Amino acid sequence: MVEYDSRWLMGFLTLIVAVMYFVSLFSAPALRQPLDWLIFTALVIVHLVLHWRLEKICKLRFGILGYILIQGVLAFVIAWMSGTVGMVFALFMGLIGEGFALLGLTWRGFLTILYYLLLSLINFIYFTGIENAIWWALGTLPIVLFVGIYVILYMRQTEAREHAQALAGELETANRQLSEYAARVEDLTIANERERMARELHDTLSQGLAGLILQLEAADAHLSQQHPEKASAIVQQAMQRARATLADSRRAISDLRQASPDELEEALRLETTYFTQSTGIPCTFQAGSLPPVPDLVKEVVLRSASELLTNISRHANASEAWLELTATPTHLQLCIQDNGVGFDPQHIPAGHYGLLGVRERVRLAGGGLTLDSAPQQGTIIKVELPIQPNLLESA
C-alpha cells in the first residue's frame, strides 16, 4: 500500500461531489421530496465522511477492502438516485483516482479500478441505454488514463520529497555527531598540547632553574667560607647555565608559536584532498620551498584556502581546481584557481559572503587579495601575506 497525503484529493472530491449534489437536487424534482432528500443527503454525507476518514480506516484489518466495497456501493446508489450522468463521472472518477493513490500499479489496484468501472458502466447504461455504452468507454477511459498518470506522478513526487526530508534529518544527525566528535577531538588535542607544554617547561625552565639554585647555594657556601675564587668560578658557571636555559626557553616558546613549513604544507594538502573527496572535483596542489611560518599567518592561510575551496564547491560549477603556495623571503602567496562559471568581480553575487570574510581576514593580517574572474572564464584568487619574522623575535 502506498502512503500519501490525501488532503488535496479529499478537498477536490468534496468540492466536486458538493457541486453535483446541488445540480442533482435542481434537475431531479423527486429528490426534493423530504424522505428522498433525507436519504440522498445522508448517503452523500456518509460517502464524504468515509473519504476523510480513509487514513484511519486503512489501519484497520481488512479496512481497505471494506472501504472499497462500501464506497463502490454508496457511489452506485447515490448516482442511481441522482438520475444524472454527471454524478456517475464525479463519484467514480474520484474513487478511481483514490484507488491509484491508495494501491498504486498493483494487481489489487487494477482490480479496484475494474470494480469501479463496472459499477459506473451499469449506472451509465441504466440512464442512457446499452446502445450508448460506447460513449461511456470513449469518455471514461481517457479520463481514467489521465487520472492514473497524474496521481502516480504526484505520488512519486511526494515519495521523493519524503525521501529528501528523511535524508535531511539523517544529515542533521550526522552533523550533530560530527560536531560532538570534533569537540571531543579538540578537548583531546588541548589536553595533549598541555602535556607537551608541561614537558617542555620541565625540561627547560624547571631543570635549568633547579641547577641555578644549586650553583648559587654552592657559591654562597664558598663565600661564607672565605673562598671567593671558587665562588666566582661557580657564579660564572651559573651565568652560562642561565644563558643556556634562556636560549632553551626561547626555543620552546618559538616551537609553540611557530608552524613548521612541513606542517603548513601537509595541512593544505589534506585540505585539498578533503575537497576532492567531498565534491568529486580534482584539485591539484603545489608548494614551493617555505620558510618558518608564524601561527597567525598559518591560520589565515588555512582558513582562506578552506573558505575559497568551499566557494568553488558551492558557486563555481567547476570541473577542476588548482591550489599553489609559494614564498619569498618576506611574503607568502596563496593562489587558488578554478575553471568554473566565473563572475563579474565588480558585482559579487549574493551568497559570496565567504569571499568578503577572506578579504577582511587577509587585510587584518596585513596582506592583500586580488581577484581575476569573468563570466564563463573561471576564477583566479591570489592572497599575499607578510611572514613578519620580527614578530617571533619580539615575542
User: Under DSSP, is residue 203 helix (H, G, I), strand (E, B) or coil?
Assistant: helix
Domains of the chain are: 7-128 (no CATH), 261-394 (3.30.565.10)
Residue that the C-alpha cell 502506498 belongs to: 2
The confidence score (pLDDT) of residue 203 equals: 53
Query: Residue 101's closest CA among 140, 47, 157, 48?
Result: 157
Q: How far apart, in whole angstroms, are the C-alpha atoms of residue 36 and residue 42?
A: 10
What is the Rg, in whole angstroms, of the alpha carbon atoms belonging to the chain? 41
Task: Give residue 114's pLDDT.
Answer: 81
Q: Where are the alpha helices (DSSP H) in 83-132?
A: 85-103, 107-128
Helix, strand, coil tally for the chain in percent (to 5): 75, 10, 15
Got the DSSP string for 133-189?
HHHHHHHHHHHHHHHHHHHHHHHHHHHHHHHHHHHHHHHHHHHHHHHHHHHHHHHHH
Provide the pLDDT for residue 384.
93
What's the pTM value of the predicted model, to 2 decimals? Answer: 0.36
pLDDT of residue 6: 58
Q: Compute CA 350 distance to the chain's CA centroid, rounded to the nearest angstrom.
A: 19
Closest CA to 373 of 342, 337, 347: 342
Q: Judging by DSSP bridges, how do beta strands 283-287 and 379-386 pair with one another? A: unpaired
129: left (phi over 0), alpha (psi -120 to 50) or beta: left
**Strands 321-327, 293-294: parallel, antiparallel or unpaired by DSSP?**
unpaired
CB 140 within 8 A of CB 117: yes
Q: For residue 395, which amino acid is it?
A: A
Q: Which pLDDT score is estimated for 284? A: 93
Kindly report the CA angle at 272 between 270 and 273, in degrees rounded to 5? 60
Tens digit of pLDDT at every position of the chain (395 positions): 444 455 666 777 788 888 888 887 888 777 778 888 888 888 888 888 887 877 777 777 777 778 888 888 888 888 888 877 778 777 777 777 777 766 766 777 778 878 887 887 787 777 777 777 677 667 677 666 766 666 666 667 767 777 788 888 888 888 888 878 777 776 776 766 666 566 556 555 666 677 778 778 877 787 888 778 877 887 887 777 676 666 556 545 544 544 455 678 888 888 888 788 878 889 999 988 888 888 778 888 888 898 898 888 888 899 999 999 998 888 999 999 999 998 888 877 665 667 888 888 888 888 999 999 888 889 999 999 998 644 333 33
To which residue does cell 539523517 refer? 170
Q: Quick one: CA torsion of 182, 188, 194, 196, rounded to 10 degrees? A: -110
